[in-house]
Structure formats: C-alpha cells, structure tokens
Amino acid sequence: MEIQNEIILKLTNMDFDLSDQQKMIRKVVRDFVKKEILPYASLIDKEGRIPNEILRKLGIMGFFGLVIPQKYGGAGLDTISYAICVDELSKACASTGVTVCVHNSVAAYPIYLFGTEAQKRKYLIPMAKGKKIGAFALTEPNAGSDAANVQTNAVLDADEWILNGTKIFITNGSIAKNVLVFARTDKKNFKNGVSVFIVEKGTPGFSIGVIEEKLGITGSDTAELIFEDCRIPKENLLGQLNNGYRMALQILDSARIGIAAQGVGIAQAALDASVKYANEWEQFGQKIAKFQAIQWWIADMATEIDAARLLTYRAAFLKDKGIRFSKQASMAKLFAAEVAMKAAEKAVQIHGGYGYCKDYPVERFFRDAKIVSIYEGTSEVQRLKIAYKVLGL
C-alpha cells in the first residue's frame, strides 16, 4: 500500500512533458505518417481498404508489435508511446489507426499476457513483426455490450476443440491470419463459462461472411466470421479454461487506451484543418479567424483535446506502473470519443459548404469520429463502469 501511495503521489506531481525517447518516437512516427500514410488517406477512405504495401511498411516500421517485448519480435514500447503512435496514425488516417490499434491491443497483447511459450513462438512473433495480422472475435448478434452472452460454443473432442457460431463486426476480420475467438465451454455457467481460442485463417470450417460497409473508418476491415464444425488443436486454448470473460475485461481495459488515443488523433486532425482554413478563408473583408465565434470554437477544441490527451496519458501511465486503471481508461475513452465528435462537427461548420464536400478531409473526420463512442464498449457502458467505480458498487 505504501508503494502504491508513493506512485500515486508522484503521479499527482508528475512532469507532464514527454520523455526524450517519447518525443523521438513521436517525431519518427510523424515523419513516417506524413510520407507513407497521409498522402493515401483519402484513397483509403474511397476504396475502403488499406493497400497491402502500406500494411507491409507498417510491419517493417514495427507498428504491429508496439507493446510486445523485443524477445518476441516487438518494439517493447511503453503504453504512452503506444498511445502516441495510435494518435499520430489516426490523425492522418483513422482506418489505419484502428487497424494497428486492434492488432496490438486485443490480438497480439493477449497472447503475450496469457499465452504459453509455444503459442508465443508460433503466433506472437510473426504477429509482432507484422507478418500476420490479428483480430479479436468477441461480438455476436446477442453479445455486444452484454459481452458475457456468448453463444458461439466449443466442445472438446479427444485432442481437438470443435467451434460453432457466428461473430460480427470483427475489425481486421477478413485480413487476419490469427483470430482470438471467444466461445462458450460451459453452458451452465453464464460469466465463467467462456474460453478463448486461437484460430488460424484457412482452418476448415472457418469462413468469412459479410464484409460490412460502414459510415466511417471505411478502410478498416470489418467482417462477419462463421464457424461450422471448425476443428482446432486442443493446445490452441488461450489462457485458462472458462476464464474468457475475465480475460475480456482485462483486455478491453487496455484496448480503451488505444481507442481513446484514436479519438484524440481524429480531434487533433479536425482542429489542425480548422486552424488552417480559418487563417486562409475570408468573409466580410477579413480572415474568418478574426471572428470571435470562430476563435471560441477553436479555443474550446484545443482545450478539450489537451484534456482528452492527458486523460489518455494518465491511463497509460497507470498501466505501465502496474496500478489499476480500469476507471481511468473508461474516462479517457468516454471523453476522447465526445471530443472527437464535437471537434469534427465544429470543423465541418467552420469550413461551411466545403466542409460537407469530399474535397476537404473534415467530412471524413466527421464520419470517422462517430465510431469512437461505439466500439470497445459504448459511451453508455463507459459511464456505467465509471459510476460503479465512483459509487463503490
């Protein structure tokens, strides 16, 4: 308890500046994004896919193993550095940001946390190196916010598990080579009857269903996954049997830091575009940046984005220090989601008619921003989680 109190005391007096290493990482990522992602963001949105060449370059740069130790092929970064990377990627292209975020936080990282050494060698290393994309298959038609209501089932038959069921809204679903699948292994136990399995693409009985056409993040792959008598080796059970619900809660707490960072990146892009436009566009004989209404919008956007970023960094800091961060991650995601939507809406308004046209990126920011309040736990779910923690329920 004394050690934890000492860490919390340091947190309250922490230096809010980034370390030299974190600043260097931010610069490297910004330079890469400016050259390799930003010029193609509009095309990614239009075509509804991220080109394989960009995915390959992301892998070479280490983006698919950001928080995985170097021992397993990753970059071994701290969580704040991870948030910086997702922020910068999402500022240029939210579709790319979430592809990297989901792969890292809910596909690769759980194998590092819960996997056997053999699983880490077989699955984690190629994932961390970007040679195989990962996905996280929890959501079902009746198991969204109610994550424990998983109906996909797994039955042990000798040395194999047989999976049957359907997953929906799976990010990276059709491009993933390795998928973490949540399936019911005890029908009598609601929350403590779900387990997690590693399923490889190409396994007989595993197929891709509908590829979703979405409002925003159109370049991010979102697919239905179908399992029909899909047989996988017994050793592909990840973690302990019937511990999947607890694992999901732990995994999603970490994932929310990345999604919060995505919201911050989208909001920052909206602000940057608004500042540029306001300083260039003239009405009534002067730059619109001279109008008080525009100034107040810009001031609110800048303030709220800073607050969202600090909330995200705080959650990341606590995670790295081994302090419980569930409430702080929910706060960061909740606030960043609302800031992203507000900033994008104001950016469209500042741009006027042009903001409603695809010639300007703010209409894409507006469409991309909405999803931040939905996936990895809706804003309503985050409010419940925060309230339960505050009320001590």
Q: How far apart are CA 133 and CA 103, in angstroms?
A: 6
In 117-200, beta strands by DSSP E: 134-137, 153-157, 160-171, 178-184, 194-200
Residue 221 · residue 164 · CB < 8 Å: no
22 has pLDDT over 80: yes
- Condensed to tens digits (0 to 9), the pLDDT of residues 291-307 reads 999 999 999 999 999 99
- Which residues lie across from 156 on neighbouring strands? 161
H-type alpha helices, the chain: 2-12, 20-36, 41-47, 52-60, 79-92, 94-102, 109-114, 117-119, 125-128, 244-278, 292-320, 326-351, 362-369, 379-391
Burial of residue 30 (CB within 10 Å: 0-12, 13-18, 19+) is middle
For residue 376, indicate whether it is catalytic: yes
Of 246, 243, 136, nearest to 180 (Cα)?
Answer: 136
Residue 350 · residue 278 · CB < 8 Å: yes
Residue recorded with tokens 């424990």: 148
- Condensed to tens digits (0 to 9), the pLDDT of residues 188-209 reads 887 899 999 999 999 999 999 9
Active-site residue, from 304, 338, 363, 376:
376
- Condensed to tens digits (0 to 9), the pLDDT of residues 245-274 reads 999 999 999 999 999 999 999 999 999 999
Q: Which two tokens stand for residue 120?
A: 């880490």
What is the DSSP secondary-structure string of 252-292?
HHHHHHHHHHHHHHHHHHHHHHHHHHHTT-EETTEEGGGSH
Q: Which CATH class for the 245-391 domain?
A: mainly alpha
Q: Where are the domains positioned within the chain? A: 2-133, 135-242, 245-391
Distances (CA, A) of 116 to 121, 240, 248, 347: 9, 11, 18, 48
* Position 226 confidence tier, pLDDT thresholds 50, 70, 90: very high
Question: CATH: 3.40.50.1820, 3.40.47.10, 3.40.718.10, 2.40.110.10. Which one for 135-242?
Answer: 2.40.110.10
- Condensed to tens digits (0 to 9), the pLDDT of residues 1-11 reads 455 555 554 55
Mean pLDDT computed over every residue of the chain: 95
Architecture of domain 2-133: Orthogonal Bundle (1.10)
Q: How far apart are CA 228 and CA 321, in angstroms?
A: 43
Neighbouring residues of 137: CB distance < 8 A, sequence distance ≥ 6: 167, 170, 173, 179, 180, 181, 182, 199, 225
* Position 359 confidence tier, pLDDT thresholds 50, 70, 90: very high
Q: What is the dihedral of CA 319, 383, 146, 206, to 10 degrees?
A: -50
Neighbouring residues of 210: CB distance < 8 A, sequence distance ≥ 6: 223, 224
Indicate the pTM of the whole model. 0.95
